[in-house]
Amino acid sequence: MEIQGSVVVVTGASSGIGLATARSFAQAGAKVVLAARSSETINAVAEELRELGEALALITDVRDQTQV
């Protein structure tokens, strides 16, 4: 599977496994879309990952069907 240049959406990207997953994909050259409920935290993560490539932060609560 070619990861470099792919667009990857990671939910729960502000902490824990989601954050680790987002970092791994960014390091591999993927364009990452970061979804999480915490705007402050997810924006900070996006800034960090932009040093590696493209990252977009989306404030999203996947428990709310209208936000998915």
- Residue range 16-36, pLDDT digits in tens: 999 999 999 999 999 999 999
Tell me the pLDDT tens digit for each residue of 29-59: 999 999 999 888 999 999 999 999 999 999 9
Q: Is 42 inside a domain boundary?
A: yes
pTM of the model: 0.90
Q: Is 44 inside a domain boundary?
A: yes
State how far the Cα of 54 lies from the Cα of 22, in Å rounded to an integer: 11
Its domain, for residue 25, covers 7-67
Angle at 20 between CA 16 and CA 21, to 5 degrees: 115
Q: What is the dihedral of CA 18, 45, 60, 11, to 10 degrees?
A: -20
Q: Is 1 inside a domain boundary?
A: no
How many domains is the chain partitioned into structurally? 1
Q: Is 2 inside a domain boundary?
A: no
CATH of the domain at 16: 3.40.50.720
